[in-house]
């Protein structure tokens, strides 16, 4: 990514405390980093450290206790159609069919698309996600993997400028996961978006991202930011590259160190 690209998402000294019965619990601590236009940034760190909270702030669902997150220079105040959010679960409306779920966002006034174009987009994403034969099915009649593909189709279809993804492929089997990763890269290649992805998979983070932000055990602070030294488009055989393996070992080591720090914290608290 060239440094001339404008900054789209900016974490500016963001801290978050959540109230608990023992007083405030710090979840994010002075987090600052930027995501530039067209970048794909993954956040990786131990379970429960505060990654989803980071995404929730960008999504407009959580307000920082101090500091701010800026979208194109303006503090995030609320959710908006410019941000497509994909969670690990709950991404579909159970009372709508596959077709209606994908169509839903296209009918909302903020991103209203003319009917003829709408139909074309719905068809395109049903086909891409392998859901064409299930257009009239309700989510309860789909497998978990298909429901997740539907959630992804819904988010892609409205062509948001920002994709915020929290473990979007975590519940998929290995083969579907890999297909979904390639499809995401393909969609980004044609639509060009700015992406923030939360994942537990170091492999996935390296394969997809242009940069990886490694965060510490809770409270999440920036441990390090790694530039991924591979260009786009990417292909499956990248997983076999020696540099890929080196980077994977390095990042796994960092994440394991943070898990160890988390375990030490837990022991201290139980003393
Ligand atoms: N709205 C909230 N109110 C109170 N506590 C919260 C709230 N949201 C999250 N937490 C707590 O903040 C901590 C960090 O949660 P968060 O979901 O951000 O972590 P995470 O890194 O995404 O976890 P995982 O990797 O397991 O998904 C957890 O202890 C969680 O219980």
In three state form, how does the secondary structure of 196-263 look? EEECCCHHHHHHHCCEEEEECCCCECEEEEEECCCCCCCCHHHHHCHHHHHHHHHHHHHHHHHHHHHH
- What is the dihedral angle through the alpha carbons of 103, 137, 154, 168, rounded to the nearest 10 degrees? 170
Residue 250 lies in a domain: yes
Ligand 1, residues 18, 197, 217, 219: which to mutate, most atoms within 8 A of Cβ?
A: 18
Residue from 22, 24, 25, 27 to probe ligand 1 pocket by mutation (most atoms less than 8 Å from CB)? 27
Does residue 198 fall inside a structural domain? yes
Q: Whose Cα sits closest to atom 20 in ligand 1?
A: 48
Q: What is the mean pLDDT of each run of 10 residues along the chain (271 residues)?
A: 81 97 94 95 94 95 96 93 82 91 82 82 91 95 87 87 91 87 87 91 96 95 96 93 97 94 81 67
Give the pTM.
0.91
Q: Using the atom order of ligand 1, give the atom closest to the CA of residue 54.
A: 18
Query: In this predicted structure, what is the pLDDT of residue 242?
Result: 96
pLDDT value of residue 271: 67
d(CA 271, CA 267): 6
Atom of ligand 1 nearest to the CA of 48: 23
Domain CATH code at residue 262 = 3.40.50.300
Task: Output the pLDDT for position 112.
Answer: 73
Which residue owns the Cα nearest ligand 1 atom 29? 48
Show the domain range for 65.
7-82+161-270
Residue 151 is assigned to a structural domain of this protein: no
116: in domain: no
Q: How many domains does the chain have?
A: 1
- Between the CA of 52 and the centroid of ligand 1 the distance, in Å, is 6
- 233 lies in a domain? yes
Q: Ligand 1 center to residue 93 CA distance, Å? A: 24
Residue 18 CA: distances (Å) to CA of 97, 129, 270: 37, 38, 21
Structural contact between residues 222 and 31, judged by C-beta atoms closer than 8 angstroms: yes
Which of 48, 58, 196, 204 to mutate to test ligand 1, by most ligand atoms within 8 A of the CB atom? 48
Q: How far apart are CA 45 and CA 266, in angstroms?
A: 16
Ligand 1 centroid to 77 CA: how many Å? 20
Residue bearing the CA closest to ligand 1, atom 3: 18
Residues 6+ apart with CB under 8 A from 48: 218, 262
Q: Looking up tokens 């790694």, which residue turns up?
A: 226
Answer whether residue 251 is part of any domain.
Answer: yes
Cα 143 to averaged position of ligand 1 atoms, centre (Å): 27
Given the cut 0.90, state whether the ipTM is greater than it: yes
Which residues surround ligand 1 with Cβ inside 6 Å? 18, 27, 47-53
Ligand 1: centre distance to CA 94 (Å):
26
């Amino acid at each position: 990514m060239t440094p001339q690209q404008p900054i789209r998402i900016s974490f500016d000294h963001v801290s978050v405390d959540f109230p608990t019965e023992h007083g405030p619990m710090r979840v994010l601590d002075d987090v600052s980093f930027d995501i530039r236009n067209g970048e794909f940034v993954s956040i990786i760190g131990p379970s429960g450290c505060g990654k989803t909270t980071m995404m929730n702030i960008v999504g407009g669902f959580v307000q920082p206790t101090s500091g701010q997150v800026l979208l194109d220079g303006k503090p995030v105040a609320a959710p908006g159609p410019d941000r497509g959010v994909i969670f690990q679960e709950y991404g579909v409306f159970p009372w709508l069919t596959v077709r209606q779920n994908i169509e839903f966002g296209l009918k909302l006034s903020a991103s209203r698309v003319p009917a003829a174009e709408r139909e074309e987009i719905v068809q395109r994403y049903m086909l891409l996600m392998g859901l064409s034969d299930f257009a009239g099915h309700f989510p309860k009649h789909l497998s978990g993997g298909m429901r997740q593909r539907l959630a992804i189709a819904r988010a892609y279809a409205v062509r948001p400028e920002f994709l915020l993804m929290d473990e979007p492929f975590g519940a998929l089997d290995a083969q579907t996961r890999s297909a979904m990763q390639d499809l995401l890269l393909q969609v980004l290649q044609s639509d060009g978006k700015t992406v923030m992805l939360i994942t537990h998979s170091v492999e996935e983070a390296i394969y997809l991202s242009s940069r990886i932000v490694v965060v510490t055990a809770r409270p999440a602070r920036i441990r390090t930011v790694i530039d991924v030294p591979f260009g786009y488009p990417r292909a499956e055989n990248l997983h076999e590259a020696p540099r890929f393996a080196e980077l994977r070992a390095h990042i796994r080591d960092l994440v394991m160190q943070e898990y160890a720090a988390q375990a030490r914290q837990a022991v201290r608290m139980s003393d």
